[in-house]
Structure 1
Amino acid sequence: MKTIKRSLALVLVMILTLAMSVTVFAEGEGAKKTFTITVNEAKAGHTYEAYQILKGDLSKSQTTLSNVDWGTGIKADKKTDLAKDAKAYVEKLSGMNSSDIKAEAQKIASALSATVAGSVSVTQDNAKTEITGLEPGYYLIKDKDSSLKGDEAYTEYILNIVADTTITPKTDVPSVEKKVKDTNDTTGDTTGWQDSADYDIGDVVPFQLTATLPANVESYKSYYLKFDDTLSQGLDFNEGTVSVKLGNKDVTSFFKTNYDAAGKKLTFTCNNILAEGFEAKNGETIVVEYKATLNKNAVIGSKGNPNKVKLEFSNNPNNGGEGDKGETPEDTVIVFTYKVVINKVNEKNEALDGAEFTLYKKIKGEADKEIKAVISGDKNDVFTFSGLDDGDYVLKETKTPDSYNTAKDIAFTIKADHSIVSDAPELKSLSGDKVTGNITLKADKAEGSLSTPVQNFKGSVLPATGGAGRVAIYVIGAILVVGGGIVLVTKKRVK
């Protein structure tokens, strides 16, 4: 019977993505009865199985497999699907190139029996992992079916003649991140893409989703990719703002956009990013950009309005990318917004009714933005301006309580510091700086509020015609008249 030269097997019977090394023993050591496969860079959560496809006798030099026959890993009724007999199958394999071998591995997988020659479950990344007790033969090494969940991908099939051997499974998964830009309306400055921002209610907020493809995406026949994006209740997706690019190539038309407004679920789905016209490559990035509007349901303060994205992706190159799916962890960005609370008081710091205020935000190159207050308090003395971001503001008293003087205009700046790059973005600080006017802004980061009392002082009381002042004038006049008369009488008597 023909023999298989071990060196030839390494070239023709190994998947392109297998990185391996073989330990060669000196002549005269003697052939071992069983052998070990060491799995290099093993990943926790994987269970690697070895199926014996062909069996035979391994020479003392461990370079030749002779007396080849079908192994225990092939179903009896599937053998003829591969070849008429084991000898013919050896000849068939020996004539294949690497691309053919890869296709043949998938055919072998469909003919596997329930007999696993050896397996190992990995509980810790990169720990020493071995499949032991293997008899000489030709093996297919694979992940256990339906064993992976979450952010994991199945190892590509590995075909190899077994001696004491080290293999490195070929596997990779995509990653995803979400970003947002921040704009200061007063200065007109806009940041780059980052992990948090603050906006006024009613503002349009730009978002970016970036998927980095696995290093072996081209090993798949087709590759499913879905961006699963969740907006907060404080944001509404803006239809018609979606752009998807692969590098500089616009691939928006390859993705289906779906938005569930009630559930705030937004998805961008492509059934095959390897399709003609799209043709994604190993390690490339796919970037989705869209816009949403911050609405009246936005959460004020440090909790903010979180937005999350994850990827659903093909994770089994051995079935052509069909069926099995993986899922990445979520990535989160947060949009913050704040409020200013004005407490109207008199000169005794008592609640004062009858005032009205309007807040104006300074906008670069545009007219000031007018912001209305929500009025509350027992005496309609609390004015709350909600849904503000950083920038310069002017507070004007547009109606003054009766008999009080109008408060001077108050100018102040809202300042906020929030995470630029973070896996868990947060509002770090919130403050208000007075520019003009009589205020003392007190910040509450958790509530996202800046509060201050604004005083009104009583006007001066002046005399008026026909009032008490006129009576006083009459009395003084009478006194002067009487006094003048007394002086005249006195002068006449002296004469």
Structure 2
Amino acid sequence: MKLMKRILAIVCTFVMIISMATGVNAVENTSTTATSTPERGKITVTNAIAGEDYKIYKILSLESYDKTAGAYSYKKPGGDWDTFINSDEGQQFFTSNENGYVTLKDTSDKEVRKLAIYAIGYAQKHNITATKTATASVSKSDNATAVFEDLDLGYYVVESTSGTACNITTAAPTAEIQDKHDNPSVTKIITQGGNVNSDGTMNSVNLGETVFFKTTIHVKPGAKNYVLHDSMNENLKFVQVAYVRDNENHEYRQTDDFIVKPDRYSPGNPEDGCTFELSFTDSFYKTYRQDIDTGRLTEITVEYLAYVSEKAPINFAMKNTTWLTYGDKKTKTEKSETETYTYGIPVYKYTGIDTALEGAKFILSTNEQPSESNAIKFNPNGTIYRYSTDQTKGNITLTSGNKGYVNINGLQAGIYYLKETEAPKGYNKIQKPIKIEILSNGKIKVDGVEITGDVKVLNNKGSILPSTGGMGTTLIYVVGSILVLASGIVLFSKRKEGTN
């Protein structure tokens, strides 16, 4: 009996041990199930442009990682990005084994940045759908951010709406990157036309002169939807685009590589009301995509011309403004601007202290010995003389009006010589030409001295001189005769007294 009790106790103990072991196993299984939920990632783009859309692409999957040890295990994600990794472009950056694990050949900032550019270019070229899209919003600190949440762990490249690759990073599980705003820009200068200042931002011209402009587009990797806009003052008359070329010496062909509107090839006016716009074709982006994304193609120059209207205002800035729109949202760059002027010389003819003198006649020349053969021709309108846009026609004589003025308009900065060819009747003509210099800012020097106001030209009256047979000699003869007669009378009187 005692033996039976001992056996029963042993059996009960064994059953209890088995029961406890079964309970522990269940707990462990629960814990394993709980921890097997896939970890999710989050990437935040800081310093973003408010309202701009950002796209994110997963180019590698992150299978596992140990941050403490700095160990990350990447694999090919499948689909289009496997094709990229296996391509000649991808092989510049990645090494992969037969099991699909991938490592970077060079982890330097320069090479990683280059990888981001190539990856975005590949996505655009092959129309790869973004993993996620986010719009940047402004936080309380005025720092716009774009947030991508609920991401698979992996290696991601981020693209802005402008088409530029802003960064590349790993979601493990969170990451923060900064948009460096590597965006395009434009600069404009004047290359020819009249008197151009040293930095090309301003010039002065004669009426009717042709002005040559050059706008440089500073191209950035990932370029897309570039449209150059140019708005001219109404007195700058656009003629045509002459050349479009890049820093790699490629000269672009109209209709094949770019389109100008308005133009004989592309009728119609630009939508934004500018003078003309130039856009690039799909063929251009396909042809030059690799040069753009690798940073070889960095500048595109557009050279074009306009002429100055004969109605152009005097001493007034005629502005020419350029800007670029780009990307899906037609983001606008800062504007670049030039100024074109045409100047005038106000001449005031007077006598005495300040009495206006009418009828004085002049010619104007750039030759220090002015003559009818080298005189500048003008179109007169009362006392206003505007530079003739056709120098085979027009008047060379400039005549002062009843208020003494001769307004000479439509000239570029430079040195001129004003010669009086005929003085008003009774006044002395000025013998030496007057040297007049129009400075680049429109101010005037006369014989080397800067003045304000009018170029004042003084004429003096001539005085009458005595001549033979005139009153001058007659008076002398009369007085002399009287004196002789008086002397004779006195002498005769004295003789008579002596006789007596």
One-letter code aligned to 2:232: L
Pairwise CA distance, 1:179: 0.4
Residue of structure 1 aligned with 2:417, choices 386, 390, 394: 394
| Secondary structure of residue in 1 paired with 2:463 | coil
Q: Which is greater in Rg?
A: 2
2:342 is aligned with 1:348: no
In 1, the alpha carbon distance for the partners of 2:279 and 2:260 equals 7
Q: Check whether the contact 2:417–2:435 (CA below 8 A) recurs between aligned residues.
A: yes
In 1, the alpha carbon distance for the partners of 2:133 and 2:163 equals 23
**What does 1:131-280 correspond to in 2, within 5 Å?**
131=147, 134=150, 136=152, 152-153=162-163, 163-167=173-177, 172-181=182-191, 193-217=199-223, 223-239=224-240, 242-247=242-247, 248-253=249-254, 254-258=257-261, 265-272=275-282, 273-274=284-285, 276=287
Pairwise CA distance, 1:405: 0.9
Q: Check whether the contact 1:38–1:165 (CA below 8 A) recurs between aligned residues.
A: yes
Pairwise CA distance, 1:289: 2.2
One-letter code aligned to 1:486: I
Residue of structure 1 aligned with 2:304, choices 290, 296, 306: 290
- In the other structure, the counterpart of 2:45 is 39
More helix by share: 2
Pairwise CA distance, 1:140: 7.8
* TM-superposition CA deviations, 1:425-456 (whole Å, max 9, x none): xx5x8341424xxxx8633xxxxxx5132211
Change (3 A) 1:485 1:238: farther
Pairwise CA distance, 1:337: 2.7
Residue of structure 2 aligned with 1:299, choices 310, 313, 316: 313
Residue of structure 1 aligned with 2:478, choices 475, 480, 483: 475
One-letter code aligned to 1:308: T
One-letter code aligned to 1:340: I
| Secondary structure of residue in 1 paired with 2:383 | strand
2:391 is aligned with 1:375: no
Q: Check whether the contact 1:47–1:121 (CA below 8 A) recurs between aligned residues.
A: no
| Secondary structure of residue in 1 paired with 2:428 | coil
In 2, the alpha carbon distance for the partners of 1:158 and 1:432 equals 62
In 2, the alpha carbon distance for the partners of 1:278 and 1:178 equals 25
Structure 1: state its 5+ residue gaps: 1-28, 67-88, 218-222, 317-323, 418-426, 444-449
Pairwise CA distance, 1:168: 5.6
Change (3 A) 1:107 1:486: closer
Change (3 A) 1:331 1:125: farther
One-letter code aligned to 2:383: I
Change (3 A) 1:163 1:452: same
Pairwise CA distance, 1:461: 1.3
In 2, the alpha carbon distance for the partners of 1:160 and 1:195 equals 46
* TM-score, normalising length: structure 2: 0.61
Q: Check whether the contact 1:206–1:289 (CA below 8 A) recurs between aligned residues.
A: yes
2:451 is aligned with 1:442: yes
* TM-superposition CA deviations, 1:326-364 (whole Å, max 9, x none): 432321011223221111111131112221222222499
| Secondary structure of residue in 2 paired with 1:472 | helix
- In the other structure, the counterpart of 2:388 is none
Change (3 A) 1:49 1:441: closer
One-letter code aligned to 1:442: I
Sequence identity percentage: 23
2:324 is aligned with 1:311: yes
- In the other structure, the counterpart of 1:404 is 427
- In the other structure, the counterpart of 2:84 is 97
* TM-superposition CA deviations, 1:212-269 (whole Å, max 9, x none): 111333xxxxx55443222223323345x71222233332544444558998813444
Q: Check whether the contact 2:229–2:277 (CA below 8 A) recurs between aligned residues.
A: yes
Change (3 A) 1:338 1:276: same
* TM-score, normalising length: structure 1: 0.62
Residue of structure 2 aligned with 1:416, choices 409, 423, 439: 439
Pairwise CA distance, 1:306: 1.1
In 1, the alpha carbon distance for the partners of 2:134 and 2:276 equals 44
- In the other structure, the counterpart of 2:129 is 109
Residue of structure 1 aligned with 2:137, choices 110, 117, 121: 121
Pairwise CA distance, 1:196: 1.3
One-letter code aligned to 2:221: A
- In the other structure, the counterpart of 1:463 is 466
One-letter code aligned to 1:211: I
Change (3 A) 1:124 1:409: farther
In 1, the alpha carbon distance for the partners of 2:462 and 2:343 equals 35
Q: Check whether the contact 1:311–1:328 (CA below 8 A) recurs between aligned residues.
A: yes
In 2, the alpha carbon distance for the partners of 1:53 and 1:491 equals 146
Change (3 A) 1:57 1:198: closer
In 1, the alpha carbon distance for the partners of 2:362 and 2:37 equals 94
One-letter code aligned to 1:461: I
In 2, the alpha carbon distance for the partners of 1:54 and 1:279 equals 22
Moved more, 132-141 or 457-466: 132-141
**What does 1:361-372 correspond to in 2, within 5 Å?**
361-362=366-367, 368=374, 370=376, 372=378
Structure 2: state its 5+ residue gaps: 1-34, 91-118, 385-399
One-letter code aligned to 1:244: V
* TM-superposition CA deviations, 1:182-237 (whole Å, max 9, x none): 7777xxxx7655211222323333321111111333xxxxx554432222233233
Cα RMSD, aligned residues only: 5.0
In 2, the alpha carbon distance for the partners of 1:94 and 1:175 equals 31
Change (3 A) 1:271 1:369: farther
